[in-house]
Structure 1
Amino acid sequence: MSGAFRCIVLIPSYNSGELLHRTVAEVLTVWPEVVVVSDGSQDGSQHALDDLLPHHAGLHLVRLQRNGGKGRAVLYGAQWAAQAGFTHILTMDADGQHPARSLPEFMAESRQNPQAMILGKPVFGPDAPALRVWGRKLSNGLVWLETAGAVKDCLFGFRVYPLPPFLQAMQKSRFMRGFDFDPEIAVRLVWIGVAAVNKPAPVQYLEKSDGGISHFQYGRDNARLTFMHIRLFLTWLWRMFCGKRKPFLSTKHDQNCG
């Protein structure tokens, strides 16, 4: 990748309530370029940034009329960012889980490794629900196999992507538009030769009393993840044993949690 490094923080948002304003305000204290994609929100959060937009030239809002899923929202934001001249996007959630204070070090890592994707590796605190911590182990194990150990955590959405390969992978697939986005895009990018740098980052789980929200639907989204893993595993087998295998890139370097 040639040219100057330009990265924008991309935040997909669907009915994020008051957390959206808080998250964006925290990001703006450490990084001036932000694009928020309001994914068909109907709870008033599509207007949550009205007081910030006039005072921050680098803050942008893209409104989608209907809710299409996280992956679709990120794709719209990535296309917007590419047209605006950015070379990279840093994705993070609107729900306060991802640490705005870690943005500068992730940006610095991406600047040093512009061809790679920088993947957040969550450091769980005592507030992390045990069901979520243990529930992701199966997904991580399958993705570890499918990427020869390159991806350490497939569900943590705090990441930096180089835009050209990201858009290439997304536009070639009709999948990765919902909750299956985070794990599948990491696998697909490794398969097309994008190196992975795994970097630890803290994760915070907010209680409902603090505004915490979750749009994960156990039946629908677990079915989607199961279908995704079946597709990826069958593709991995085909690549491994049918003469179509391309060399996997392991992590460029894995930064341990301490």
Structure 2
Amino acid sequence: MPQTLVVIPTYDERENLESIVERVLSLGVGAHVLVVDDDSPDGTGALADALAARRAEVHVLHRSGKRGLGAAYLAGFDWALERGYEAIVEMDADGSHHPEELPRMLELLQGHDLVLGSRWVPGGAVEHWPKRRELLSRGGNLYTRIALGIDVRDSTGGYRVFRASALRGIDLDGVASQGYCFQVDLLWRALQRGLHVIETPIVFTERQHGASKMSGSIVRESLLRVTGWAVRRRLFVTKEALRGRPVPSLRDLSTR
């Protein structure tokens, strides 16, 4: 099993944090946990420090102010790469991602660069979501798949496992997206670089405590950025075709 770090960004997740950390540590896969806290006013950062004082496998990265999910993950990725972890995991703090599915995802990483936990492939599911939110997620993923020409059913999901070499190869310094769009951005960069990506079904459970960080601005950012990437891709393909150069389909770079 590769040396694994589970990166868990937090903002006001005091009610959820201890449970998710304990579930990760009980898996028996030798994973460490990095809590990246954005100065949570509810005391999440202090709780993370207490957990780290009790367990050597728990680490904490404190950041000043609420600076966004994407920036928190990028800080966590940098921390992991500097310390030589071989597998880096994205996982929500609120219990929506089930740690018990992680061993299977780590096994799949043996033959791939990026493993996507997917709600929208056969066997995947969501629990306790209102129909409106399910339709929004399915519609956003359908638009992304068509616009970018990729064979990925859940581009926006946030339960993922990366090889360290994959993260080093996708130009993290150029990532500025947040929210759902951050996840699409990383996937898009991975596919453009020919990395081996696989989706595996997961069950996503809506949080029991606290409020969702989902907002209209996150949806709008994702729509605008995906459209921009799609236009640039089409222009590139057209230019290469006029020059008589073949362009590989990105559908061929993602596997099931």
Normalising to structure 2: TM-score of the pair? Answer: 0.86
Tell me which residue corresponds to 1:64: 63
Tell me which residue corresponds to 2:195: 194
Tell me which residue corresponds to 2:209: 211
How far 1:225 sits from its partner (Å)?
A: 1.4
Tell me which residue corresponds to 1:141: 142
Q: 1:103 aligned to 2:102?
A: yes
Give the aligned residue type for 1:248.
L
Q: Secondary structure at the match of 2:48?
A: coil
- Equivalent residues, number: 245
> CA contact under 8 A between 1:7 and 1:89: conserved in structure 2?
yes
> CA contact under 8 A between 1:148 and 1:250: conserved in structure 2?
no
CA distance in 1: counterparts of 2:138 and 2:229, whole angstroms: 17
Gaps of 5+ in 1: none
Normalising to structure 1: TM-score of the pair? Answer: 0.86
CA distance in 2: counterparts of 1:56 and 1:126, whole angstroms: 31
Give the aligned residue type for 1:224.
E
> CA contact under 8 A between 1:69 and 1:177: conserved in structure 2?
yes
In 2 relative to 1, CA 249–179 (structure 1 residues): closer, same or farther, beyond 3 Å?
closer
How far 1:247 sits from its partner (Å)?
A: 4.7
CA distance in 1: counterparts of 2:188 and 2:251, whole angstroms: 11
Q: 1:248 aligned to 2:247?
A: no
2:230 to 219, 228, 233: 233
Tell me which residue corresponds to 1:22: 19
Give the aligned residue type for 2:69.
K
Stretches of 4+ aligned residues off by more than 6 angstroms:
none
Task: Report the identity percentage.
Answer: 22
> CA contact under 8 A between 1:151 and 1:186: conserved in structure 2?
no
CA distance in 2: counterparts of 1:246 and 1:146, whole angstroms: 16
How far 1:253 sits from its partner (Å)?
A: 4.2
Q: 1:183 aligned to 2:181?
A: no
CA distance in 1: counterparts of 2:229 and 2:254, whole angstroms: 23
Give the aligned residue type for 2:222.
L
Gaps of 5+ in 2: none
